[in-house]
Amino acid sequence: MTKKLFLALFALLAGEQAMAQYGNYKYDYQSYFEPDKRVKVRYYYDDFGIYVNVGAGYAMPGGKATNVIVGVPHAGGVTAGNTFNQSQRVSFNSGVRTNLALGFMFNSYVGFEVAANVGATADKYTMSISGPQTSAYGTDVKVTAYSQYSSLLTPQLVFHYITGVRSHIYAKVGAAVPFMSDITYEGETRVVDGLGNSTFYNSKAVVTPETFVGFSGTIGGYTMINKNFRLYLDINYTSLSLYAKEMAIKEYKVQGIDAITSIPADDVKVTYDQSTATRAAVPKFVIPYSILSVNLGMSFRL
């Protein structure tokens, strides 16, 4: 009784929407002094326990980076090294992304979470080039690059700050571990001879990156629907760049006819920074994956 009275008086002095806690419920100070009007309000603040987040969002490039173009088809095969490059806003994690997270709150303020962030759609980056710089390959070149289902695993610490009975804000900080991050390069080169006749070379090449760990940081907020269900909205920044590890040619066609067997075996699959008996080492290059994303979804307490 004394404890309830003390908490009610504290809530009165605190003002705002402060509530006096008692057990698993909260009472406002007015209803305490008028028992017949007392209404129990569910204790919505975070307790320790397990929760699951399900959501989606859109990720845009985290900033400008160098977009390196490889996989340019030509009469002698398909290029593996840095053939063309351009500074632009590019990230092979950009596009619509889905989120699934499993977390555990040690108390109302600190927890730990592991989230899987998977690309549902992939932004595509196309570079079309013609003129003297393409003369070694053809009259004009077009290459489209994208990463299908590029994904991140993010183990991170979670920090909550209570702002009201039904709402609070949070921050998350942790690592970003990439998986399924291969880049596909679809290329087309047109060669026009002196008589105006065109020959087309088409290719598809896949670059696999090396594994590296990036940084992930998130700020956002929850609105509580009930004790076990809430809606969230947050903004995430992920900083991540990976070196190319190897490239494999999947398709090579001349005038629509398969010609991949005309490419030497050592050139069909190239490991960067490694030479062979017939080819010098091809330098590896950096692939940008940094993103800034806005996400929304639902959270369920188990």
pLDDT reported for residue 13: 41
Can you give the pLDDT at residue 46?
52
In the chain, the domains with their CATH numbers are 1-43 (no CATH), 46-301 (2.40.160.20)
Choice among 22-31, 85-94, 203-212 with the minimum mean pLDDT: 22-31
User: Rg (Cα) of the chain, in Å, rounded?
Assistant: 28
Residues in Cβ contact with 236 at an 8 Å cutoff, skipping those fewer than 6 apart: 57, 59, 216, 217, 218, 291, 292, 293, 295
When pLDDT is averaged across residues 161-182 and rounded to a whole number, the result is 89
Average pLDDT, the chain: 86
φ, ψ at 289 (rounded to 5°) = -130, 5
- Residue 255 confidence (pLDDT) above 60: yes
